[in-house]
Amino acid sequence: GGGGGGGELSVQGALQLCSSLYDSWEASLRLPPNAAVRTRCREARTQLIGAATAVASMADELAIRVAAAAAEALVAMNAMPQKVSPVIKPLMRVVECAPPVPQQRAATALAAMLRVTIPKTPCPNPKVLRNVCTLLLPPSASADRHEALARASHGASRMLTACCAEFGDQVFSSLPELWSQATAGLASRPPAHAA
């Protein structure tokens, strides 16, 4: 069913109404079809699809933000679980996709988490830092993806700034992968010839 128990229509139920159920209903209409009725139904269907898609997107975003807030709390309490990927993933997602304020909070929490996980074996820090550096310099993309890539790049920049604040002048000795990532592009360039 599409309901949630109280007579309300769930997002999945609304989308189902707009797909196979709608197609079956439209096919069963008697001929000759009433063009005005069909047009109104199609417009309502389009609006319902748009609303259901927006609600699903907001629910996903809220779930990620809640998971990131829980991860921030774990880091702040220094109560990291044995498996740290459930802490890292929502924080990285917020660094990549969220607006500036939650992005900054997640970046600060990730930087603090990097300090806590230095002695962990295997250490997740190199992978986290590689992912952050990848966000910093994304490949060129179409104009419709430009805003998302710019937001991810700003988040990566916030993350690197948070690492500098967390580690100070020990940033490269504490996070050697960060130095490796910073110098990788330089090492791959051919040497400049003196003129």
Distance CA 48, CA 38 (A): 15
Strand spans (E) along the chain: none
Distance CA 110, CA 159 (A): 7
Backbone angles phi, psi at 3, to 5 degrees: -85, 170
**Does the pTM of the predicted model rise above 0.75?**
no
Distance CA 55, CA 90 (A): 20
**C-alpha separations of 164 from 12, 77, 130, 156, 175 in Å:** 45, 21, 16, 12, 10
C-alpha torsion angle, residues 153, 96, 142, 144 (rounded to 10): -120
- Ramachandran area for residue 78 (φ above 0: left; ψ -120 to 50: alpha; else beta): left
Task: Tell whether the model's pLDDT for residue 150 goes beyond 80.
Answer: yes
pLDDT tens by residue, 12-31: 777 777 777 777 777 776 65
Contact 178, 164 (CB under 8 A): no
pLDDT tens by residue, 162-193: 999 999 999 999 999 999 988 886 565 555 55
Q: Find out whether the peptide bond into 32 is cis, omega within 30 degrees of 0.
A: yes
Query: How large a percentage of the chain has pLDDT more than 90?
Result: 48
Task: Tell whether the model's pLDDT for residue 127 goes beyond 80.
Answer: yes
Contact 2, 12 (CB under 8 A): yes
Per-residue pLDDT band at 3 (split at 50, 70, 90): very low
With residues binned 3-state (H G I as helix, E B as strand, rest as coil), the percentages for the chain, rounded to 5, are: 75, 0, 25
Residue type, 122: P
